Structure 1
Amino acid sequence: MTYQALYRVFRPQRFADVVGQEHVTKTLQSALLQNKISHAYLFSGPRGTGKTSAAKIFAKAVNCEHAPTAEPCNECPACVGITNGTIPDVLEIDAASNNRVDEIRDIRDKVKFAPTSVRYKVYIIDEVHMLSIGAFNALLKTLEEPPKHVIFILATTEPHKIPLTIISRCQRFDFRRIPLPSIVARLRHVVSQQGIEAADEALSAIARAADGGMRDALSLLDQAISFSNGQLLLEDVLAMTGAVSSATLASLVKAIYEKDAATVLQLLEKMMDQGKDPNRLIEDLIFYYRDLLLYKTAPHVEGAIKGAIVDDAFKHLAEAVPVSNLYETIEVLNKSQQEMKWTNHPRIFLEVALIKLCHQQVSQALPPSEELQSLIQRVEYLEAELRRLKEQNVSAAAATSAPAKKQTKGLKTGGYKTPIGRIYEILKQATHQDLALIKSHWAEMLDTLKKQHKVSHAALLQESEPVAASPNAFVLKFKYEIHCKMAADNTNYVKDNLEAILFELTKKRFEMVAVPEEEWGKIREEFIRGKEAKQEQEEEDPLIAEAKRLFGEELIEIKE
């Protein structure tokens, strides 16, 4: 076999070739230059990020004829032999297939022998988390106190499966997922070395599909080159990986935002006919909405947009779709993605999720302009009242010598003059039937105000309660005097709207008379007391009443 896969041809041979792991390579190079070489290292991280390659480069650097050096020369017999795998003192062991106690015991027995070809014996144990408990125990003592000529390098993708007793005896280096720009730059170098023309969008699509792994990226590139006709284009990569183009996603997102369910289903049907995977499609959608959210909230953050192409369609969507809508959409798609993992029909869940998004209500960030103006006026009025109340409180606190009764009057809000006479008239003609009629439609009246976008009116009447009603008027009690004043002044047509809605609901015209809760108790008590006094007067003996009329009340003495 003469052909070699790209990830083998372009495997890093120097620390400078290891992409995206500068925090690891710089530390190892400093240790090599200062001859501070540990007896055991643990390289952990996702697959395809350079763990085994860094281990072999380190093995060449410590055994290079030019050591101490930060980079292996790759020309001396030691470097060439380690690269070719012909030097027996550098062993690369796969723990997945050599995980028994016997293999580790064989290593333990051989480490005491000095190297035959180079300065250090280096044992590279790949996927070390696959070792059995007995194998770990057999390795433990050797790993703790190995001979001076032995170096252990353990590589793993799942460090949490390694016993802590092993980890504590190693210098640990965590390899990270390789950033998207670094992968694209490396792929650009590879295609230039291979003499292949490749579009930048195609390389970006491969880098996104690799999910931070350089080996996966090179394998996908190798596959894409074979799929294409001499020139690597975005369409070839999308067809090969099953991903969706940014333009198609933009069309789908636009149709969802416009609530065009028919277009959404047509686009989905077209993508399914092209062999797209529903799970991959919903993941691409989630990342597209994520990019929209980041672009909308932080457009100047460099590197925030990782998946989508920031073109005119993307910018238009970012400006049009509200942030609250993006939050809700990501939440719905994420929930559907979780459900799709446990079903045999993921396409159905995807269709349901997209139709649900087409029918979701767009959150209304602000009331209509008229209502907003009313709210602004109300806030300004409240702020003025608050300043006035603070001034009154300061004045009342200063007048400490004033009688308690006067202090109480000074603290009273006093901004509203209660129409006591009108309330007395209503109380004289009040009936339980009229009050019950108004109360039975009160909740419906508040809902009508909200439906008519009179949100501020409904909020103002939320703390109010009808307490008395006659055939043509009713008394509305407010918890706070300031709300009472705002409703009675009718500057924002609260009173007119309230009476109009009640007329539609009850078919009777009622006039609203506002009263603060504090005043209502006093007015009601005085009315009842006056009514009782009048009844007592009417029940007086007719002879006594006539005598008082003839001779005067002061000349008559009544004895039982």
Structure 2
Amino acid sequence: MSYQALYRVWRPQRFDEIVGQQVITTTLKNALITNQTSHAYLFTGPRGTGKTSAAKIFAKAINCHHLKDGEPCNECETCKAITNGQLNDVIEIDAASNNGVEEIRDIRDKAKYAPTQADYKVYIIDEVHMLSTGAFNALLKTLEEPPANVVFILATTEPHKIPLTIISRTQRFDFRRISAADSFGRMKMILDDKQVEYDEQALWVIARAAEGGMRDALSILDQALSFSDNQITLDNALLVTGSVTKQLLHQYLQQVTDHDSGKALETMQSILGAGKDGQRFIEDLISFVRDLLLYQESPDLINIESTGLSEHDYQSLAQKVTGNVWYQMIDQLNDIQQEMRFTTHPDVYLEVLTVKLAQIKASDATQNTVISQAGPELEQLQNTVAKLQQEISQLQKQPAQPTQANESRPIAKKQPSSTKTVKINLTKVYPILESATKEDLIKLRDIWGDMLNMLSVPQRSLLHVSKPVAASPQGVIVAFEYSFLYQKAATDADLEADMQADLTKLIGETRSIVYVPDDQWPTIRQDFIKQHALAPTSDAANDSDSTDDPATSEDEKEVTQTLNDDKMVTQAQELFGNEIVEIKND
């Protein structure tokens, strides 16, 4: 039989063999034991964390007739067929290459048929985020109303690309990155079973290089086994991963913190000369600085034995350098790491980085940290203080300025006269005046307070200094004592709508509302009387609010009223005839 990669040979066949996902495996086993399985699952998480393995184990467990504590027996014909990929009722699909609508429609049509051999038909769709929008829509109906005895397991590394309508119809399980300790334990178990000699420090190097992926760790371990002829040593692991020993990293940081850039450059050149990867060197430095920061906060957080360094090595750097220096070093390392992504000359960037790190001092780090945290705010505050000082000096040079300001106040009091320029829509005012009556005005004034109480507090405060001055069956004219309140009301469509609605509720009639400034109301009324030559409309002018104008005497009102009455009688007789019109005196 040809050689198989370690991650294929040692693929988990039971839930207990899945590394670092105890919460998920326990939940799935309990669901199987209590027969509370769902029709659709979504497994998300980074690569190599056990998503597809868990899906296959679940497919075996749900179809195994010899289930024990939620684990498949792996001995019956069904379990063996699923393990070998020979059971037609367990279908594994790669959505990256089958992402069209037709493929999903084919799944939907075939899912209607009952399973042929197993109890449940299980569809495992890997990298489901690669499906097109049309394919997701085709899958949605099946997930919403699934056929009996059908289970869908969707696996993805990018759940944010999956529509929420799909996610809401599945049980979601988030697989987390596998810790270096878990990866180390799994590799140690495999090598012990294979009876291969190994250096534990080498396994720690491989576990950290895998960055949380168990499959990546086993792939690197496979490379190391091939490189060293079935013997894992620290040097071979470092060569395969491109990592740098913690001793060299410790030496490099020691020289950098001593501000000895010459020796630090020599150490860095020897690291690159040994064939180490520049990007990996930066990542190892960041990881080491992170360990030092954690060690400063709590030494128990670091497993020193796994690093290959001694307690004294950590103490020497932790006591020598403050946290602010480490923070600034991490910032520099992150910047260089981004710049090195597309370069073909990493040694140039690393040399510049070494010089920069060697020039960092504790006082500079502290100052830079403070400035970076409060730079914009500090600059703005300084500018504000400078402007205030300049204004104070100008005021001190001009002590008579407040007197001049006081003397100019009477001029400012004449500003209300500018309200004469306010445009008033007379085309809305005159139609109301033409049919205005004193009875309508009295009726509106009686209910005015009730209408105000129905409005909101801001609207009520705006109308507090207003009053109706004319009213007709079609509308009402409201005068404001202050022009700025009139302008605000004239531009408030909501206020007008609310007033009309409240008036309709109170009097049962719909009336339009027109606003006018109080100081211009007498002029508007007199202009209306003159323009209409004491026609019947002038009666509206006098009935509206003439008692509020002291310029109009009682004799003038009586003469105007008499003329208006005679004119009204004449026009009524012309319109309807003498036989119909009947004159009655009050």
Q: In 1, are the aligned partners of 2:291 and 2:302 still within 8 Å (CA)? A: no
| Equivalent residue, structure 2, for 1:49 | 49
The whole-number CA distance in structure 1 between the counterparts of 2:121 and 2:310 is: 52
d(CA) in 2 for partners of 1:251 and 1:314? Answer: 12
Question: Secondary structure at the residue paired with 2:294?
Answer: helix
- Specify the alignment match of 2:252 in structure 1: 252
Partner of 1:128: 128
Matched with 1:242 is 242
Return the alpha-carbon distance in structure 1 between the equivalents of residues 198 and 290 of structure 2. Answer: 28
Letter in 1 for 2:99: N
**One-letter amino acid matched to 2:114:** A
Aligned to 2:204: 204
Aligned CA distance change for structure 1 residues 303 and 122 (closer, same or farther; 3 Å): farther
Unaligned runs of 5+ in 2: 367-586
Q: Confirm whether residue 275 of structure 1 aligns to residue 275 of structure 2.
A: yes
Provide closer, same or farther for how the CA distance between residues 39 and 309 of structure 1 changes in structure 2, counting only shifts above 3 A: farther
CA contact (8 A) 1:99 1:131 kept: yes
Preserved contact between residue 261 and residue 355 of structure 1 (Cα < 8 Å): yes
How far apart, CA to CA, are the structure 1 residues paired with 2:261 and 2:76? 67
**Structure 2 partner of 1:295:** 295
1:122-144 Cα shifts (integer Å, max 9, x gaps): 00000000111111111110111
Q: Deviations over 1:312-368 (max 9, x none)?
A: 3233222222222222222222222222235443322221111011122232899xx
Residues of 2 paired with 1:284 and 1:16: CA distance? 32
Change (3 A) 1:162 1:304: farther
> What is the distance in 1 between the residues matched to 2:289 and 2:302?
18
Match of residue 164 from structure 1: 164
Pick closer, same or farther for the CA change 1:141–1:303 going to 2, 3 Å: farther
My pick for the range that moved more, 217-226 or 320-329, is: 320-329
Name the SS for the 2:182 alignment partner.
helix
SS of aligned partner of 1:193: helix
**1:36 Cα deviation from its structure 2 partner:** 0.2
What are the residue-to-residue correspondences of 1:211-222 with 2, within 5 Å?
Answer: 211-222=211-222
CA distance in 2, matches of 1:166, 1:304: 45
Matches for 1:221-370 after TM superposition, within 5 Å: 221-301=221-301, 309-363=309-363
- Whether 2:100 is the aligned partner of 1:95: answer no
Structure 1 residue ranges without an equivalent (≥5): 367-560
Match of 1:225, SS state, is helix
Q: Distance in 1 between matches of 2:360 and 2:302?
A: 32
Distance 1:95 1:364 in 2: 53
Q: CA deviation at 1:302?
A: 5.8
Distance in 2 (CA, whole Å) between partners of 1:232 and 1:217 is 13
Q: Give the partner amino acid of 2:222.
A: D
Counterpart Cα distance in 2 of 1:360 and 1:345: 24
CA distance in 1, matches of 2:290, 2:169: 41
Q: Which moved more, 1:299-308 or 1:22-31?
A: 299-308
How far apart in 2 are the matches of 1:253 and 1:308?
A: 16
* Code of the aligned partner of 2:178: I
**Which residue is 2:113 aligned to?**
113
**Alignment correspondent of 2:38:** 38
Aligned partners of 1:308, 1:320: CA distance in 2, in Å?
Answer: 20
Q: Judge conservation of contact 2:7–2:218 (CA < 8 Å) in 1.
A: yes
Distance 1:259 1:302 in 2: 27
1:37 alignment partner, SS class: coil
- Give me the whole-angstrom Cα distance separating, in 1, the residues matched to 2:49 and 2:34: 26
Structure 1 residue 267: Cα displacement: 1.0
What is the CA deviation profile of residues 140-183 of structure 1, one whole-angstrom value per residue up to 9, with x for unaligned ones? 10111111210000000000011111111000000000111111
CA distance in 1, matches of 2:106, 2:27: 32
CA spacing shift, 1:326–1:365, aligned 2, 3 Å: closer
Contact 2:294 2:302 in 1 (8 A): no
Structure 1 pair 302/274, CA: closer, same or farther in 2 (3 Å)?
closer
TM-score, length of structure 2 as denominator length: 0.60
Work out the CA distance in 2 between the residues paired with 1:186 and 1:211.
Answer: 15
1:102–1:305 CA distance, 2 compared to 1 (3 A)? farther
* Counterpart Cα distance in 1 of 2:69 and 2:294: 44
Q: Take 1:344 and 1:183, find their aligned partners in 2: how far apart are those partners? A: 33
| CA displacement at 1:308 relative to structure 2 | 7.0
Look up the match of 1:432.
none
User: Which whole-Å deviations, capped at 9, do the CAs of 1:494-529 have from their partners, x for residues lacking one?
Assistant: xxxxxxxxxxxxxxxxxxxxxxxxxxxxxxxxxxxx
Partner of 2:137 in structure 1?
137
Q: CA deviation at 1:229?
A: 3.8
Partner secondary structure for residue 124 of structure 2: strand
- Structure 1 354/123 Cα, relative in aligned 2: closer, same or farther at 3 Å? same
Q: Distance in 1 between matches of 2:7 and 2:342?
A: 34
Shift of residue 88, structure 1, vs aligned partner: 0.1
Residues 256 and 358 in structure 2, CA contact (< 8 A), matched pair in contact too? yes
Does the 8 Å contact 2:95/2:126 carry over to 1?
Answer: yes
- Correspondence for 1:76: 76
User: What's the C-alpha RMSD, in Å, of the aligned pairs?
Assistant: 1.9
The answer to whether residue 189 in structure 2 is matched with residue 186 in structure 1 is no
Quick one: which amino acid aligns to residue 274 of structure 1? A
Given that 1:62 and 1:120 are in contact with CA atoms closer than 8 Å, whether structure 2 keeps it comes out as: yes
Distance in 2, matches of 1:291 and 1:302, equals 7
- Counterpart secondary structure, 2:122: strand
In the alignment of these two chains, the number of paired residues is: 366
Residues in 1 aligned to 2:197 and 2:282: alpha-carbon distance in whole angstroms: 31
Check if 1:154 corresponds to 2:154. yes
SS across alignment from 2:235: helix
Post-superposition CA distance 1:438-496 (Å, at most 9, x none): xxxxxxxxxxxxxxxxxxxxxxxxxxxxxxxxxxxxxxxxxxxxxxxxxxxxxxxxxxx
Quick one: which amino acid aligns to residue 286 of structure 2? Answer: I
In the TM superposition, 1:514-553 aligns within 5 A as: none
Report the alpha carbon displacement of residue 306 of structure 1 after superposing the two structures with TM: 7.9
Matches of 1:117 and 1:88 in 2, distance apart? 8
* Aligned amino acid, residue 135 of structure 1: A
Aligned to 2:14: 14
- Given that 2:304 and 2:311 are in contact with CA atoms closer than 8 Å, whether structure 1 keeps it comes out as no
Match of 1:86 in 2: 86
Q: What amino acid is aligned across from residue 135 of structure 2 in structure 1?
A: A
Q: Distance in 1 between matches of 2:259 and 2:172?
A: 52
CA contact (8 A) 1:66 1:73 kept: yes
Moved more, 112-121 or 308-317: 308-317
Whether contact under 8 Å (1:202, 1:232) holds in the other structure is yes
Maintained 8 Å contact 2:279/2:337: yes
Alpha-carbon contact 1:292-1:318 (below 8 Å) kept:
yes
Aligned-pair distance for 1:5? 0.6
Task: Name the SS of the counterpart of 1:125 in structure 2.
Answer: strand
Task: Give the direction of change, closer, same or farther, for the CA distance of 1:23–1:305 in structure 2 (3 Å limit).
Answer: farther
Does the residue aligned with 2:296 lie in a helix, a strand or coil? helix
What is the CA–CA distance in structure 1 between the aligned matches of 2:365 and 2:90, rounded to whole Å?
66
